[in-house]
Structure formats: structure tokens, C-alpha cells
Amino acid sequence: MSEINLGVTLFCYGTEYARYEYDFAECVKQAALAGATGYEIVGTQMLPDYPNVSDEFLGLIQLLKAEYGIGPVGYGANNDKGMMHDRNLTDDEMLADTIIDLKTAHQLGCKVMRAQYMLSPQAFERLVPYAELYDIRVGIEIHNPESPLSPLMKEYLAVIKKTKSQYLGFIPDFGCFAIAPNQAQWIKALEAGVSEEHLQQAAKMRYDGVPLKEAQANLVAQGAHPAIQTVLQGMYGFVQFKPKAELPRLLNELKEILPYSFELHGKFHYLGEDLVEPSIPYKEILAVVQDSDFSGYLICEYEDELYCGGTEFTKRQLQMVKQLIKS
């Protein structure tokens, strides 16, 4: 049976951090108060000397660990191909950047690093000796609009099977199992003046597989508020969703890749007091995880699209997961 530890990515407190309401220490404190037993650091967000880490910051990590009882368990790498204005980075350059991330994660004491699929399958394969050297397991994040066995993820799976390395694997992001519209974006659209009727029509067109340009034209013809175009882009982009009828297939895909997964990313966009994520079927996802041999952290990740701060929502997320795991 599974062994699920609960953690938080400090990205959850990104709004408070960006507004200087929280410093790094306060983010760690809030993660501990929420009930996390470990946390993820996104290097580009919270390391003052990124991509490196200073002795001063490492000392702060240890002081906070002594005070709050939690430390970094995961490192969020930033695989950015677009750093040059005139071209994408090559595989060699992406690999070099990822090796630097591994070194930093090692210094922080992390045993897992979350990588993005901007790191190609070919570069991912070449990462093996470096991951072994630093003793860090590197997981490709399966992020919406990909799914566990989408064509691109199958390429990474082939690499994992080919190398037979325990240091390469997956980190499924629960957003890829979305079966309903993003509640936060829906709320923002209503506040901007979009009608509920037009939002429902947009969602139906997405469910029905209407091409994006056709959906855009249909809404313009109906006189929909221009702000609907932003939420429509999301429905066809990184917060897209699938019909509920596809959930069994997605869960079967999850079962297939769980043996190669050593961390889970508990993405959520909105949680009311009922502790139900409107777009992501947590109950069904966690049932699959619990019925597996997964062992590792479920890292909660709140994407604060409402810019209201993540403190309360993150507490709710951990409470929700604890209830579902017990039930």
C-alpha cells in the first residue's frame, strides 16, 4: 500500500511573498502551521543568489528547521528554453542548467527535483550520471495539457525504462486530470463582466471539442464581453479540462506511471469551505494513489489566480487531502 507524506510548495505563498507581506521564514512558518512535514523551494522565486545558494541561506534553512521542524524535501527547477532573445537554448545548454539545479538542490538537502518538459527526453537521458552523483531523483512534471501517457510523456517513459535508473521518473501534476473549468478564472471572468450564460457556452464548446478559433468567433458573434477571451484561452491551454467520461482513461494512465513516480504535485485552483476542488477530482485520484505502492510526498500547490493569497487555501488543501486519505 501507499505511503503518502504531505508537503507544501512555498509557491503557495507567492502572492504574500511578492507583496513583501511574508519573507522566506514566514513562508516556512505558514507551511508548518498548515500541517506540512516538508516543503518545496522554487529556486527562481525564493533563492536570493539563484541559480546558486549562499552559505547564509543554508544557515537560515537550518535555523528554520530547528524552529518549525520542517525542511526542504523538493526543489522546483526552472527549465527555461527562452533565455536568449534570438533562439532557444540547445540541449547541451539545457542540460548544463539542469546540472546546476541539481547541485543547488543537493546543497539544500533535497532528494527530489521537479523538472519541466522543456528539458527534452534526450537531455533527460543524459542527466542520469549527474542525478546519481548528487543522489537526487529527477521527475518530469506531467503538467496540463499533457496527460500521463500523452505522446510526449511516452517519450520520457521510454527513457526511464531504457536507462533503468531509479533517479529518473515522473511527478504527476493533478491539474492534468481536470474535468471541469477552472473556478478561479470563472470567478474573475464574472467579476470582469462576463455573463454566466456565455461562460457556460464556452465550457460546452470546450467539452464538445470545438476548435479554439471557432469558439472565439461564436462568442464574439453573440456579443460576449471581451474578457471571456482570456478564460477561453485558458480552457484550451494550461488549465484545459476533459469530459468526465475520460476520467477512467486518465486514471488508468496514472496507474501505469505511478511505479515510476516518487512525488505528486497536488495542484489546486480553488477550495471553498466545503473542501472540494471544483475542477480536479481529488477523491478519485487519491483512491488510485492509495491503492498503489507509491511512497513519497504529495506537495500541495495553490496557484493564486485570484491574487488573494494562499495561506487559508493551503490550510484547506491539506485538510482536504488528510480527510480523503483517511476515508
How confident is the prediction along the chain (327 residues), in pLDDT tens digits per residue? 899 999 999 999 999 999 999 999 999 999 999 999 999 999 999 999 999 999 999 999 999 999 999 999 999 998 889 989 999 999 999 999 999 999 999 999 999 999 999 999 999 999 999 999 999 999 999 999 999 999 999 999 999 999 999 999 999 999 999 999 999 999 999 999 999 999 999 999 999 999 999 999 999 999 999 999 999 999 999 999 999 999 999 999 999 999 999 999 999 999 999 999 999 999 999 999 999 999 999 999 999 999 999 999 999 999 999 999 987
What distances in angstroms separate CA 46 from CA 11, 13, 49, 269, 306, one per listed residue?
A: 9, 11, 9, 21, 21
**Residue 170 shares a structural domain with residue 222:** no
Give the domain CATH number at 173. Answer: 3.20.20.150
Residues facing residue 75 across a β-bridge: 41, 113
Domain boundary pick from 192, 219, 235:
235
**Residue 255 shares a structural domain with residue 227:** no
**Residue 217 shares a structural domain with residue 229:** yes
Q: Which three cell numbers stand for residue 29?
A: 512558518
∠ Cα 162 167 169 (to 5°): 70
Q: Name the helix (H) or strand (E) containing 5.
A: strand 3-9
Q: Tell how far CA 61 is from the center of its chain.
A: 23
Q: What is the rounded CA–CA span in Å between residue 197 and residue 195? A: 5
Q: Name the helix (H) or strand (E) containing 108.
A: helix 91-108
∠ Cα 164 172 98 (to 5°): 65
Number of Cβ within 10 Å of residue 248's Cβ equals 10
Q: Which three cell numbers stand for residue 268?
A: 489546486
State residue 78's pLDDT score.
Answer: 86
**Residue 98 shares a structural domain with residue 193:** no
**Residue 166 shares a structural domain with residue 19:** yes
**Residue 81 shares a structural domain with residue 220:** no
**Residue 286 shares a structural domain with residue 206:** no
**Residue 320 shares a structural domain with residue 212:** no
Q: What is the rounded CA–CA span in Å between residue 188 and residue 239? A: 14
Residue with cell 461564436: 218
Boundaries of domain holding 230:
183-235
Does this model's pTM top 0.85? My answer is yes
Q: Are strands 3-9 and 39-42 parallel, antiparallel or unpaired?
A: parallel
In this structure, the chain runs to a length of 327
**Residue 13 shares a structural domain with residue 144:** yes
**Residue 96 shares a structural domain with residue 216:** no
Helices (H), 114-172: 121-126, 128-134, 151-163
Q: What is the rounded CA–CA span in Å between residue 9 and residue 41? A: 6
**Residue 64 shares a structural domain with residue 129:** yes
**Residue 226 shares a structural domain with residue 321:** no
Number of domains in the chain: 2
